[in-house]
Amino acid sequence: MIRPSMIYGPTDDKNVGWLIKTIKKLPVIPLPGGGSFGRQPVFVGDVCKIVAKLIKSSKQSRVFEIHGYEYVSMKEMVTQIKRVYQIKQPTIIIPIRFLKSFILINQKIFPNPKFTVDQIESLISGEKFKGDDWAKLFDIIPTKFSQGVEKMKS
């Protein structure tokens, strides 16, 4: 069994895919709190390689904690997406308090809001996972976030 962190890649319509789609539409890109919080996204191709190796191997039955090797801040994600997709819109810092207030009002007005305050809390938590050293365990070179975003474009 594998337990991956946030998976991203081509055809991703959540997580990084959603972020790319949203950034392309906005005239100005909001960056909550300056974007120092982040994630450890793992590229879907790396997860597929792990699954293929597990199918072929006789590794012990256990749970493998799979996470991206890089801790990528939200600011870096936006920077890489802008670079790869040649997006020129400016980025502005939005105070977290303002964002939460806006989302809380949105939650009260709309029955099924796209975002909730709980989701923002989770987003800005910036937790880092230890997980397994899957690159060594499965002899795989991890895909860097910048490379993964490039692969999403094609």
**CATH code at 88?**
3.40.50.720
Q: How many residues does the chain have?
A: 154
| Alpha helices (H) along 2-140 | 15-25, 44-56, 74-84, 96-109, 117-125, 134-137
- Mean pLDDT, the chain, rounded, equals 90
Q: pLDDT tens for residues 54-66?
A: 988 876 678 889 9
129 — pLDDT class (breaks 50, 70, 90):
confident
Q: pLDDT tens for residues 105-127?
A: 988 898 888 778 887 887 788 77
Burial class for 43, CB neighbours closer than 10 Å (0-12, 13-18, 19+): buried
> Is 108 inside any structural domain?
no
- Separation between Cα atoms, residue 9 and residue 1, nearest integer Å: 21
Q: Which domain does 6 fall in, by range?
A: 2-93+126-153
> Is 114 inside any structural domain?
no
> Is 18 inside any structural domain?
yes
pLDDT, position 42: 95
> Is 41 inside any structural domain?
yes
Q: pLDDT tens for residues 66-82?
A: 999 899 999 999 999 99
> Is 74 inside any structural domain?
yes
Look at the chain and report how many structural domains it folds into. 1
pLDDT, position 71: 94
> Is 131 inside any structural domain?
yes
